[in-house]
Amino acid sequence: MDRTLAEALRATLSAARENVREWLDEGLESWDAVPRPSPAVAEAGGTAALPVRDPDSFPADSLPSLGSDPGTAPARSAARLEDIRSALGDCQECRLAAGRTQIVFGDGAPDADLMLIGEGPGEQEDRRGIPFVGRAGELLTQMIERGLEIPRSCVYICNIVKCRPPDNRAPLADEVAACRSVLDAQIDAVQPKVILALGKPATSLLLDRNVAISRVRGTWQEYRGIPVMPTYHPAFLLRQYTEENRRQVWQDLKQALTRARERGGRFPELS
């Protein structure tokens, strides 16, 4: 075989192998698991069909900036979150509105020093209106409470999209974009010392690029001046419950808590 052709084939194979490794790392179990628009989405014209929320229509930047008085900060954060939630109303900014039971806004302490950001509500979350209460949520709660030994109620947990994607598919780019100002406003309201990004979609959004989670997990990143620790999504961990994956997530969680404490974050002990 021609040497140049052989080299080109080798390079192509090596790139393909690398891609497959990344997909497996990120939880791909079959080709059907690659997120595709549902028939309804395709009918609606795919991802380009919906308008993206005008950032000026959302109160994120119009809210007064937080003071540093610890006595009033929790109340202010709570009031801000309430404002954001009520500005969201019965949001119809993207197609996910049509399939949701309710908006799953966020859960936990309004002024938490550690904020966890996932992907989007699943069936249980959609039913109960609280993020991370299904199987992945149970694992996450265990990791927080048994692992970090802090109550779940002292962190703040939310998702990059607030409405359940159909068939638990990954949220599409325009759905994530439509919800982004809400997430930014939540981050501004909570003002966490550290953000833990759970999985590829949340990490890619915060880092503003398409990341391979296996490459960036465990490395410090930053979003709007806040340290971000990317880690695997608990749903991935449930699927690939290996000792190595558990060890890595555990390490990432511990790093996040330590950094939050170093930055002045306070966490009550689990009673």
Select from 131, 165, 171, 230 the one that contacts ligand URA (CB under 6 A).
Answer: 131
Residue 230 found at the interface with ligand URA (CB under 6 A): no
* 78, amino acid identity: A
Residue 120 found at the interface with ligand URA (CB under 6 A): yes
Residues 63-101: b if buried by 16+ CB within 10 A, e if exposed: beebeeeeeeeeebbeebbeebbebbeebebbbbbeebe
**Dihedral (Cα; 203, 50, 131, 184), 10-degree rounding:** 50
Closest distance to ligand URA from the beta carbon of 117 (Å): 9
d(CA 223, CA 134): 28
User: Among 129-137, 144-152, 179-187, 245-253, which window interacts with ligand URA (CB under 6 A)?
Assistant: 129-137
Closest distance to ligand URA from the beta carbon of 119 (Å): 3
Query: Residue 212's closest CA among 36, 18, 82?
Result: 18
Closest distance to ligand URA from the beta carbon of 54 (Å): 26
Closest distance to ligand URA from the beta carbon of 208 (Å): 19
Q: Specify the residue, 76 or 187, whose C-beta has the smaller distance to ligand URA.
A: 187
* Residue 107: C-alpha distances to residues 80, 195, 226, 249 (Å): 14, 15, 20, 21
Residue 121 found at the interface with ligand URA (CB under 6 A): yes
Residue 136 found at the interface with ligand URA (CB under 6 A): yes
Q: Residues 165, 173: contact at Cβ < 8 Å?
A: no
The residues facing 226 across adjacent strands are 223
Q: Specify the residue, 118 or 265, whose C-beta has the smaller distance to ligand URA.
A: 118
Q: Which residues bind ligand URA (CB under 6 A)?
A: 118-122, 125, 131-132, 134, 136-137, 159, 235
